Amino acid sequence: METTVKVKFWEFLREQGLRQTAQREAILDLFLDSGGHISPESLFNTVKRAHPHIGYSTVYRTLKLLAQSGLAQEVHFHEDQTLYDRKSEQHDHLVCVRCGRVVEFQFESVERLQSEIARQQGFLPQRRKFEIYGLCRECQQRTA
Amino acid sequence: METTVKVKFWEFLREQGLRQTAQREAILDLFLDSGGHISPESLFNTVKRAHPHIGYSTVYRTLKLLAQSGLAQEVHFHEDQTLYDRKSEQHDHLVCVRCGRVVEFQFESVERLQSEIARQQGFLPQRRKFEIYGLCRECQQRTA
DNA sequence: ATAGATGCAAATGTTTTGCAGGAAA
DNA sequence: TTTCCTGCAAAACATTTGCATCTAT
C-alpha cells in the first residue's frame, strides 16, 4: 500500500514533465518509512548509506517536490528546523517539550472552532496550525 | 501605563544583575510602540534612527532578554523569521496569507479544547500554538 | 538528442559569538 | 574598579542556487 503513494508521486512527476530517478526513489522510500516528521538532515544521513555521493541539495529539492505533490507537508515544531510530515487529512499535534515526541490528533471540534472564529473575524480560513506543547506521560513521570 | 511595563523590565534586569542602558530602553520603547509582532530587522532599522551605531547583535540580545523577562514572546508566522509579540494572556492568531495582517483572539473554548485533548492523550499541556491562516476581509474582496 | 537531474561549492539570510574598547554599577 | 555592554566582524546554521556534468526519456 505504500506502493500506491509511490505511484502517486511518479504520476505527479510525469504530469510535471519531471523524471523518475534512483535518488528520488530512495528519498521517497525513507520518507515513507519514517512514518512522518523527518528532518532533511536525518534523511540525508540515512540516504547516504545507499547513495554515498548524494548531496544535501538533492534531498532538499526532493522534499520540496514531495510537498508540492501534496504527499508531504512542512512543519516547524522546533523553531529553526523544518520537518516533513506525511500529509493525510488535516490533523494537529501534541509535542513533548522534553523528548520531542509528536502525537497526532484529529478532533471535529477543532475544525468547528476554526470556522467559527474565522467567521466572526471576517476571515476566510485556509489552513491552520494547532500545536499543544507539554510533557508526555513518560516525561511527566521522569520529572515528578 | 507603558511605564509599568518598562519598570518591570528594569526590575528584571536588576534581579539578574544586568544593566539599564540607553540602547535597551530604545529597543523596549519601540517594541512597546509597535503593539506587538515586530521583527528584529524592522526594529533594527527603526532604532538606527536614534542610535545610528547600534548593532544587530544588541537588538537580538535585547529581544532575547525581553522574552526571558516574560514581556515578549517569540512567534513564527512566516517560517523563516522570528517575530516578537507582546506577551499578555495566552492568545491565538489569525494570519492573513496575502497581506500578512495578524489579528489576535482569545476564546475560552480554545483553552478548554486544549485541556481536553491533552488529558485524553496523557499530556501535561504547557503552551500552545493555534494559528488560523487565510484571507482577511479586505483581501477576500480584492481577490473575488 | 534534449530537457532535466545531480553533486559540488559557493551564496544566502537569519541569528549567534568572540573580542577589544566603552559604560553602568 | 569591576562586571557587564556594545559594536563590529566573523562564525554558525539551515537552506538555496549556479554550474558543469551526467542521465532519464
pLDDT per residue as tens digits for the range B88-135: 888 999 999 888 888 999 999 999 999 999 999 999 999 999 999 999
- A71-130 residues touching B, CB cutoff 8 A: 74, 76, 79, 82, 94, 96-97, 103, 105, 107, 109-110, 113-114, 117-118, 120-130
At A45, which helix (H) or strand (E)? helix A40-50
**Mean pLDDT across the stretch A100-114?**
92
Closest CA relative to residue B40, chosen from B64, B71, B11, B19: B64
Provide DSSP, A69-87: HTSEEEEEEETTEEEEEE-
Name the burial class of residue A95, with classes exposed (0-12), middle (13-18) and buried (19+) by CB atoms within 10 angstroms of its CB. Answer: buried
Q: Specify the range with the lowest mean pLDDT, choosing from A135-144, B20-29, B120-129.
A: A135-144
Integer Cα distance of B35 and B53 in angstroms: 25
Q: What is the CA A37 to chain-centroid distance, rounded?
A: 5
pLDDT at residue B136 greater than cutoff 80: yes
Residues of chain B neighbouring A128 (CB-CB closer than 8 A): 130-133
**Mean pLDDT across the stretch A8-31?**
97
CATH pick for A92-143 out of 3.20.20.450, 3.30.1490.190, 3.40.50.300, 3.30.70.1140? 3.30.1490.190
pLDDT at residue B64 greater than cutoff 90: yes
pLDDT recorded at residue A105: 94
CATH pick for B2-86 out of 3.40.50.300, 2.30.30.40, 1.10.150.130, 1.10.10.10? 1.10.10.10
Question: Is strand D in 7 Å reach of the CB of A40?
Answer: yes
Answer whether A134 sits within 8 Å of B124, measured CB to CB. yes
Neighbours of A71 (CB within 10 A): 20
Residues of chain A neighbouring B122 (CB-CB closer than 8 A): 136-137, 140
Q: What is the share, in percent, of chain B residues with pLDDT greater than 70?
A: 97
Starting from the edge strand earliest in sequence, which strands make up the sheet with B124-135, in order? A102-105, A92-96, A124-135, B124-135, B92-96, B102-105
Distance B57 CA to C16 C1' (A): 8
pLDDT recorded at residue A143: 65
Integer Cα distance of B121 and A131 in angstroms: 13
- DSSP SS3 for B83: strand
pLDDT recorded at residue A64: 97
pLDDT at residue B69 greater than cutoff 90: yes
pLDDT at residue B143 greater than cutoff 70: no
Integer Cα distance of A76 and A116 in angstroms: 25
pLDDT recorded at residue B100: 82
Closest CA relative to residue A77, chosen from B102, B119, B79: B79
**Mean pLDDT across the stretch B7-15?**
96
> What is the domain partition of chain B in residue ranges?
2-86, 92-143
* End-to-end CA separation in angstroms for chain A: 42
pTM (2 decimals)?
0.83
Closest CA relative to residue B118, chosen from A51, A110, A121: A110
pLDDT at residue A72 greater than cutoff 80: yes
- Pinpoint the alpha helices (H) of chain B: 2-15, 22-34, 40-50, 56-69, 108-121, 137-143
Answer whether B97 sits within 8 Å of A126, measured CB to CB. yes
Paired sense of beta strands B72-78 and A92-96, if any: unpaired
pLDDT recorded at residue A144: 59
pLDDT recorded at residue B89: 84
Where does the pLDDT of residue B144 fall: very low under 50, low under 70, confident under 90, or very high at 90 and above?
Answer: low
Integer Cα distance of B110 and A72 in angstroms: 27
**Mean pLDDT across the stretch A58-77?**
95
- DSSP SS3 for B129: strand
